[in-house]
Amino acid sequence: MSYYQGKTVWLTGASSGIGLAMAKQLAEAGAHLILTSRRADALEAVRQGLAHPERHRVLALDLSQPEQAATTAAAELGDQVIDILINNAGVSQRSLILDTDMKVYRQLMEIDYFGVIALTKLVLPRMLERQSGHIVTVSSVAGKVGTKLRSGYNGAKFGVIGFMDSLRAETYGKGVIVTSILPGFINTQVAHNSLTGDGSALGHEDPDNAGGISAESCAAQSLQAIAKGKAEVVIGSGLSKLAPFLQRFFPGLVRNLVAKR
Cβ-proximal residues to 66 (8 Å cutoff; 6+ apart), any chain: 110, 111, 114, 115, 117, 118, 119
pLDDT at 140: 97
pLDDT at 208: 66
pLDDT at 192: 83
Which position has the higher pLDDT, 210 or 106?
Answer: 106
| Structural domains of the chain, with CATH | 2-260 (3.40.50.720)
pLDDT at 216: 97
Q: Which helix (H) or strand (E) holds 35?
A: strand 32-36
pTM for the whole structure: 0.95
Q: Write down the catalytic residue from 4, 105, 113, 153.
A: 153
| Dihedral angle over CA of 180, 8, 112, 195, nearest 10 | 120
Does the active-site annotation cover 153? yes
Residue 33 scores a pLDDT above 80: yes
> What is the mean predicted confidence (pLDDT) over 127-141?
98
pLDDT at 64: 97
Residue 103 scores a pLDDT above 80: yes
pLDDT at 205: 79
